[in-house]
């Protein structure tokens, strides 16, 4: 079994964190009046006991689903009658919601939190989405269905950084393996 060097371990964990951070954050831009899908997939398994969609700054409840039904009491009035589950059965952990008739006031950072029946912990943050509603000439109508260009760019950069770090770690490991034997065995050094 090959031993790993500290460099390869650091490279591996750095890549893991870069991938996790790039994956869970999205940014979407839409026009006023658009219906927007806020995408969230929970692949941890187990029955979903609680689903919370909130908007930060100000902290507002967008959608709360508990024990098989939607709760309107904690929902902020500006979101009432405008938010619904994309898949009411939440097949394959799809807890995405559709926000109807977006307005500039909906601009903000949205968080999707899920509590599963097989977890004792509080609801876990699954996805963070920054939504910008603008009527300027920028990109509009993007519903978050297929990911955004910024998210793809971050993922490509993260993968490139990971490959470079892993390559450097492999070079360090090969160097230590080849030249480490020379330092330990002086007879090999004389033959070289």
DSSP 157-184: HHHHHHHHHHHHHHHHHHHHHHHHHHHH
Range of the domain at 130: 25-146
Q: What is the pLDDT along the chain (192 residues), one digit of tens a residue?
A: 445 555 555 555 554 444 444 446 899 999 999 999 999 999 877 788 899 999 998 889 999 999 888 888 789 999 999 999 999 999 889 999 999 999 999 999 999 999 987 667 889 999 999 999 998 754 444 444 444 444 455 555 566 666 677 778 778 778 777 766 555 665 655 555
CATH number at residue 119: 2.60.40.10
Does some domain include residue 92? yes
Separation of alpha carbons 162 and 86, rounded Å: 34
Does some domain include residue 105? yes
- What are the residue ranges of helices labelled H in 58-120? none
**Residue 177: what are its φ and ψ, rounded to 5°?**
-70, -45
DSSP H or E stretch at residue 24: none
Structural domains in the chain (count): 1
DSSP state, residue 46: S
Closest C-alpha to 97, from 55, 137, 132, 58: 55
């Amino acid at each position: 079994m090959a031993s790993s060097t500290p460099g390869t371990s650091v490279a591996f964990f750095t890549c893991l964190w870069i991938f996790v951070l790039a994956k869970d954050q999205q940014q979407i831009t839409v026009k006023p009046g658009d219906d927007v899908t806020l995408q969230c997939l929970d692949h941890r398994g187990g029955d979903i006991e609680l689903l919370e969609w909130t908007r930060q700054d100000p902290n507002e409840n967008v959608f709360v689903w508990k024990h098989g039904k939607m709760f309107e009491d904690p929902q902020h009035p500006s979101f009432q009658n405008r938010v619904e589950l994309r898949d009411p059965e939440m097949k394959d952990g799809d807890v995405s919601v559709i926000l109807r008739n977006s307005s500039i006031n909906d601009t903000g950072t949205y968080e999707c939190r899920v509590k599963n029946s097989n977890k004792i912990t509080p609801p876990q943050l699954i996805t963070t989405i920054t939504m910008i509603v603008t009527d300027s000439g920028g990109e509009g109508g993007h519903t978050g269905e297929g990911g955004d260009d910024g998210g793809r760019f971050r993922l490509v950069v993260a993968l490139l950084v990971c490959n470079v770090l892993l390559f450097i770690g492999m070079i360090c490991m090969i160097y230590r393996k080849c030249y480490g034997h020379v330092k330990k065995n002086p007879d090999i050094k004389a033959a070289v």
